[in-house]
Amino acid sequence: MSRISPDFVPQLLAGMVVNFEIAAIALLVGLAVGGLLTWMKLAGGASGAFATAVIGLMRAAPTFVVMFFLLNIIPSDATLFGVNVAPSGIMTVALSLVPYAAAYVADNGGEALRQLRDGSPLGALLFLPNVTRAFFVLVMSSSAGAAIGVPEGIAVILREAELMPTLGDKMVLFAIGILCFGITLQAGFALMRLLQRYLGRLALRAR
Amino acid sequence: MIFLRRIVISALASLLALATLPSHAETPDAALVKLLDEAKAAAAVPGACAQPGLDRLVRIFCEGKIRVGVREYYPLFGTREGCVRSGYDVDVARRLAKHLGVEPVFTRVNAATRIPLLADDKIDLTIATMGHNAQRDGQVRFIRPHYFQSETIIVGPKGLTIRDWPDVASRTICVTVGNGSNAQIVSHNARLMLFDEAGVLPDKLRDETCTLAAQDDSFFDYYFTDPAFAGSYDRKFGFAQLPWGMAVALAGSDKLARALDLTSQIFHRDGVFLDIAKENRIGLGFLERQRAVWNRPECNTATGAENPACVLPPLSAVLEPTPIAAQVAAFEGWIEKHTGIALQLPMFKTMPAWLLFKAGIVNSLILVAGALVATLLFSLVLGAMQSSRSFLLRWPARALTVVLQSSPVVLTLVISAAVALALFPYSSAVAIGAAIVALGLMNGANAGQAIAEAMHTLRTERGGPAVPTADLYGRAVSRSATQIVSFLINAAKGTPIASFIGAPELLSALTDITSFASGRASTYSLLLVFYVCVVIVVVWLCGKLRIWLERRQVVSA
């Protein structure tokens, strides 16, 4: 433990902020894309079929591969109307998570709209805890950014681990990482449960 | 009589020895003086300088100047600040010009223009950090002996012990796309992180994005002149030595090339190159070795530059083509002509790329199959443990599940790889095995939890805690079919991340291929299509499994 740099924990926390940042961007874009796909799917016809096919492909696309695809397909000097649009490392990871987020939003959004049409607004509100769950899944998945040099939490842990001479020292470091991410995840799930209970109470009052 | 014969034989042997002694061969100095005198005499003939087809050496004496192409933005070798040029290449040019008794006139060149400018007769000589490989022998005439030699070096933090190739296996090394030495790094099981420009590598080391970086020593030499950089990082080891050559045009430069060959020999022998290198604070190892070589009697002759025992061979940079390389190139051309899309398929054009590609596909399929089987096995085992009435089985399984759920996928993979490497020496099989275990555990733990929850509901429906039987457990598995299938698909989708710990699956293979070949856009598009297809097949198979499990539940109910 004494071999761990005194800057490690502050750096890890700063890295975890990056994980949250990536997840937030991915979820926001996912909500927009997923919302659009849900609307198209419910509209039926050709656009509905197209949306269903796109959602299917998004579900099947592995995040890690999408990340490398985006990283290599967009030139570092790409411009649009004279503005550099090449995504940063953080944005690349966030965009790679968008297919998952959008497909998830489309699935759950469709279900929520169905509940709403069936006269169950509270059932539709279950969309909120589901989105919260997706957000924390995205936080954990954003660790893939370590592979392309994004300075997120896992990258900080791995950087420090490179300098650890023994497996035991590395394991201590990894345990700290799991603890930090675990507390965050469990706190997120606790928040989700609170939200569900609150919605449940609302449902009881409505009856 | 015998005595007389011995004397005659001894005398003949002595004569033979004297005849073959290098000291009796023409020295490079004498040969150079003779050549220069002839050229100067040719230039002095009235009207000779106006005649076409002059050898460039004669023309140099006609004009009293030599036009040299040098770089302007290559620290320590060729830089320019205002009108002041400096660097090893520039100083070598100045010394050569002085030796010939003419003035140097510099022209800016870069990697793309240094050969065409020679062919267009815009410059007489290029001294521009140019590696001598066999391909370039057909474009320019390289001056030998070579005036410098670079090598690719691995640079990393001083505290990190890296001595040789075994120490870099499974580590990530930051490199630039297209660097000829990338293929060698890949062959030693290191992972690559690719960057477009070498200039970003020191920054990536400083901000700790990269722990190790590989690039020419001539590039890092400049950064090692910075005390802060030199205090934090050091050179771990070098490989892929590449001799650098001055070069002249293939046509009309025979005498100039010969004069420069001889001058280069003399500069090595007398330590002139070494002195210039010291002044410019670049690596001295190669030049010190060359000084010893060119002081050897068999090399210090007018023909030393033609002696294979003295000069270095060019690097052979040509990758072996596949039998279908020509057809693939024709197909690429056809696609471009008819669609405008510049499709490039490097994995089908060279043997190293093709072998990596084939192995990548096979390993990816093994990884997907392994991850699916491992997920199923771990889910059944952990599900059974979590359904057990014994807390000695139940609680460790629950604790493991919570830990696995709390660990990001990359971290779990790294932990699995660290444990595997503590038990076995690194190999592709170990990396694939570690990835299968990690993916199986992560997804199996979640699926196992779903089975345990299904078991709980079955017990509740039966009115209280029942003894867990195989039949009841089977029903729990059937009831959690949707969850199991969902985590099986998740495991298949997660397999590409195994490349992070060095498993040589397709993503890893294609990253390696694009590091030494072109066609990144086509290559990664193909990769995405491959994995989407694999996941679609897995989803279809898992759908069949779910239907079977659900039918089983209906039958048993």
Taking only the tens place, the pLDDT of each residue in A139-158 is 989 999 998 888 899 999 98
Please answer yes or no on whether A60 and B209 come within 8 Å at the CB atom: no
In a domain, B330, yes or no: no
Same domain flag for B353 and B459: yes
Q: For the domain that residue B372 is a member of, what is the CATH number?
A: 1.10.3720.10
Please answer yes or no on whether A185 and B415 come within 8 Å at the CB atom: no
The 3-state DSSP class for residue B113 equals: coil
In a domain, A161, yes or no: yes
pTM to 2 decimal places = 0.74
Determine the Cα–Cα distance for residues B336 and B333; give it in Å rounded to an integer.
5
Whether A140 has its CB under 8 Å from any CB of chain B: the answer is yes
Cβ contacts below 8 Å, chain A against chain B, sum to 129
CA distances from B248 to B92, B128, B245, B287, B312 (A): 15, 12, 10, 22, 18
Same domain flag for B413 and B508: yes
Residues near B250 by beta carbon (within 8 Å), at least 6 away in sequence: B119, B139, B140, B141
The 3-state DSSP class for residue B347 equals: helix
Same domain flag for B128 and B195: no
Number of Cβ atoms within 10 Å of the Cβ of B228: 9
Determine the Cα–Cα distance for residues B64 and B60; give it in Å rounded to an integer.
6
Same domain flag for B28 and B84: yes
Residues near A132 by beta carbon (within 8 Å), at least 6 away in sequence: A188, A191, A192, A195
Q: Which domain holds residue A136?
A: 13-77+87-206
Q: For the domain that residue A168 is a member of, what is the CATH number?
A: 1.10.3720.10
The total number of structural domains in chain B stands at 3
Buried-state track B124-152, b at ≥16 Cβ within 10 A, e below 16: bbbbbbbbbbeebeeebbbbbbbbbbbbb
Query: Contact, A187 vs A136, CB < 8 A?
Result: no
Partners of residue B238 on adjacent β-strands: B153
Please answer yes or no on whether B159 and A163 come within 8 Å at the CB atom: yes
Pick the closest to residue B502 from B387, B402, B416 (CA basis). B416
Stretch A3-26: mean pLDDT: 91
Residues near B301 by beta carbon (within 8 Å), at least 6 away in sequence: B22, B25, B26, B27, B28, B307
Nearest to B410 among A143, A151, A182 (CB): A143
Partners of residue A84 on adjacent β-strands: A79
In a domain, B388, yes or no: yes
In a domain, B10, yes or no: no
In a domain, A1, yes or no: no
Nearest to B406 among A69, A157, A181 (CB): A181
Buried-state track B13-37, b at ≥16 Cβ within 10 A, e below 16: eeeeeeeeeeeebebbbebbeebbe
Whether A159 has its CB under 8 Å from any CB of chain B: the answer is yes
In a domain, B528, yes or no: yes
Domain boundary at B254, B277, B306, which? Answer: B306
pLDDT at residue B486, as a whole number: 85
Q: Using an 8 Å CB-CB cutoff, list chain B residues near A170.
A: 418
Question: Is 50 exceeded by the pLDDT of residue A174?
Answer: yes
Determine the Cα–Cα distance for residues A150 and A158; give it in Å rounded to an integer.
12
Domain boundary at B216, B240, B264, which? Answer: B240
Helix (H) or strand (E) holding B350: none
Q: A206 vs B144, which has greater pLDDT?
A: B144
pLDDT at residue B208, as a whole number: 80
Q: For the domain that residue B210 is a member of, what is the CATH number?
A: 3.40.190.10
**In chain A, % of residues over pLDDT 90:** 43
Mean pLDDT of chain A: 86
Measured in residues, chain B has a length of 557
Determine the Cα–Cα distance for residues B7 and B60; give it in Å rounded to an integer.
55
Residue B121: Cβ-neighbour burial (10 angstroms; 0-12, 13-18, 19+) = middle
Question: Is 80 exceeded by the pLDDT of residue A80?
Answer: no
In a domain, A82, yes or no: no
Same domain flag for B418 and B528: yes
Pairing of strands A83-84, B103-108: unpaired
Same domain flag for B135 and B215: no
In a domain, B236, yes or no: yes
Q: Using an 8 Å CB-CB cutoff, list chain B residues near A162.
A: 160, 171, 211
Same domain flag for B236 and B250: no
For chain B, counts of helices (H) and of strands (E): 21, 13
Whether B11 has its CB under 8 Å from any CB of chain A: the answer is no
Residues near A160 by beta carbon (within 8 Å), at least 6 away in sequence: A4, A5, A8, A173
Maximum pairwise Cα distance, chain A: 64
Same domain flag for B441 and B494: yes
Q: Using an 8 Å CB-CB cutoff, list chain B residues near A147.
A: 193, 410, 497, 499-500
Residues near A121 by beta carbon (within 8 Å), at least 6 away in sequence: A115
Whether A60 has its CB under 8 Å from any CB of chain B: the answer is yes
Whether A162 has its CB under 8 Å from any CB of chain B: the answer is yes
Q: Using an 8 Å CB-CB cutoff, list chain B residues near A148.
A: 193
Same domain flag for B188 and B216: yes
Residue with tokens 């089908």: B348
Nearest to B531 among A65, A149, A155 (CB): A65
Q: Which domain holds residue B124?
A: 23-147+245-306
Domain boundary at B240, B261, B279, which? Answer: B240
pLDDT tier, A203 (very low <50, low <70, confident <90, very high otherwise): low
Same domain flag for B142 and B157: no
Same domain flag for B357 and B467: yes
Q: Using an 8 Å CB-CB cutoff, list chain B residues near A57.
A: 532
- Output DSSP code: residue B138: G
In a domain, B538, yes or no: yes
Q: Which residues of chain B, if any, have pLDDT below 50?
A: 1, 13-23
Q: Using an 8 Å CB-CB cutoff, list chain B residues near A76.
A: 196
The total number of structural domains in chain A stands at 1
Please answer yes or no on whether B520 and A146 come within 8 Å at the CB atom: no
Best B170, B192, B407, B539 member to test A by mutation, with max A CBs in 10 Å, is B407
Same domain flag for B378 and B249: no
In a domain, A8, yes or no: no
The 3-state DSSP class for residue B181 equals: coil
Please answer yes or no on whether B527 and A65 come within 8 Å at the CB atom: yes
The 3-state DSSP class for residue B271 equals: coil
Determine the Cα–Cα distance for residues B271 and B28; give it in Å rounded to an integer.
15
